[in-house]
Structure 1
Amino acid sequence: MNTSITATDRQFRILYVCVGNLCRSVLAEHLTQRAITEWPPALSHRFHVHSAGTRGRDRQPMHPYTAQVLTARGASPAAFTTSRLTAVAIRGADLVLTATVRERDDVLALHPAAVRRTFTINEFARLAPPDGGGAHEADPDLPEDPVALAQQRVAAAVRRRGRTRCATGSSVAPDDIPDPDRTLDAFDDCATAIDRAVQVILHALSGPR
């Protein structure tokens, strides 16, 4: 039996990273997955999403407030357990998105070669051109394969790095999504911020549909 992966089986793999894999990366993973399930099957099955924590423990449940805000947004929190970040997971990802600059640095300490595909969540949302840098359906240079297109968008974000500045004036690093305080409202606000960034990211990665 032939078990080789064909071009149409190849998936674009997104890895979200925070500290414990209890809150922010879990929210990003599930909100991304919720959005992807609304895409046509021919597109949705070409994307894979997972998450991990730089200092988390394996096989722990998500934070109960994380589960609550996900359920309220129509994203199923069932059957999830935490994962500790590994170099193997980083190597297998086409795009690594972290909650903060600190986690981005931790990713690169584990696997320096991932520098051209590792961003904070907000950084990538800021850098990835929503139209693919002017690409549209009639553009003959626009890849038909969704994985190739997503990889092209990551490359475009890398080129924009250093040329696009984010706003300053906050005590929090501009591209960071801080850990939510210990209240349900804080988790809800965090989920809102992540969901907003996820929508921008997925629009950039998936192109015209």
Structure 2
Amino acid sequence: MDSSSTIRILTVCTGNICRSPVAERLLQAGLDQIRPDVFQVRSAGTRAMVGDPAQPISADIIRTYGGSSDGFAARQLTPKILREADLVLTMAATHRGEVMQMDASLLKRTFTIREFARMIEALEQRDGDSPAAPDVPAFWRALPARAASVRHLALAQDAADNDVVDPYRRGEEIYHRMEDELAPAILTILRFARRHS
């Protein structure tokens, strides 16, 4: 596949075994249904449990929404991985800060996933119905800057509303809270992709 026609999305959390694998696999499964072979979604952790599979409850959540955790292995976030990304979606503001420390040039391409979902909703409200993008890769490469332009319209009432709770080593109910915080953002991104692809 021609790399210029591939949109690379990176999801980031801490261990890369709970939150970011769910975001990676569900975004990839959904985007593959919309535009096969256009999007490549991967994930990494700021303090990754390198080589570990997704946690069992995270894997169950992935399956519930029609994705697969098969073959998943956690990997450590590196500057090289970041440089390859067109869009970086972190699970919490702290991860966004760590991305910025690693590569400040990614400022306008890095968002928490919940913040990004609100921003693209605000973008659509501002711009109204626009036709499907004739050049999907170009549209998605320009999207982070466009989303950043409406950040002021998509501010969270509480800063915690930008984050997805970390369920690692916590009870099943915290995994379901993670799911409740993450799933709406993923669905918003997929609906947006369907409308503009």
Same fold (TM over 0.5): yes
Give the corresponding residue for 1:66.
58
1:96 is paired with a residue of what secondary structure? strand
Q: Deviations over 1:74-125 (max 9, x none)?
A: 2111111001000111110000000111000000100110001000011101
Counterparts in 2 of 1:71 and 1:133: CA distance versus 1, 3 Å? same
Give the corresponding residue for 1:134.
128
Give the corresponding residue for 1:152.
142
2:160 is paired with a residue of what secondary structure? coil
CA drift at 1:161: 2.0
CA drift at 1:151: 2.1
1:178 is paired with a residue of what secondary structure? coil
Aligned partners of 2:59 and 2:153: how far apart in 1?
A: 38
Counterparts in 2 of 1:34 and 1:143: CA distance versus 1, 3 Å? closer
Runs (5+) with no aligned partner, structure 1: none
Aligned partners of 2:163 and 2:98: how far apart in 1?
A: 14
Scaled by the length of structure 2, the TM-score of the pair is 0.88
Q: Does 1:180 align with 2:167?
A: yes
Give the corresponding residue for 1:102.
94
Scaled by the length of structure 1, the TM-score of the pair is 0.84
What value does the CA root-mean-square deviation take over the aligned residues? 2.2
Counterparts in 2 of 1:65 and 1:6: CA distance versus 1, 3 Å? closer
Q: Does 1:29 align with 2:24?
A: yes
Aligned partners of 1:68 and 1:161: how far apart in 2?
A: 33
CA contact 1:61–1:82 (8 Å) conserved in 2 = yes
CA contact 1:149–1:207 (8 Å) conserved in 2 = no
Aligned partners of 2:19 and 2:145: how far apart in 1?
A: 25
More helix by share: 2
Q: Does 1:20 align with 2:15?
A: yes
CA contact 1:153–1:205 (8 Å) conserved in 2 = no
CA contact 2:115–2:154 (8 Å) conserved in 1 = no
- Comparing 197-206 and 150-159, the one that deviates more: 197-206
- Structure having the higher Rg: 1
Runs (5+) with no aligned partner, structure 2: none
Matches within 5 A, 1:38-117: 38-39=33-34, 43-117=35-109
Q: Does 1:195 align with 2:183?
A: yes
Alignment length, in residue pairs?
194
Give the corresponding residue for 1:204.
192
CA contact 1:149–1:206 (8 Å) conserved in 2 = no
Aligned partners of 1:6 and 1:14: how far apart in 2?
A: 13
Counterparts in 2 of 1:6 and 1:94: CA distance versus 1, 3 Å? closer
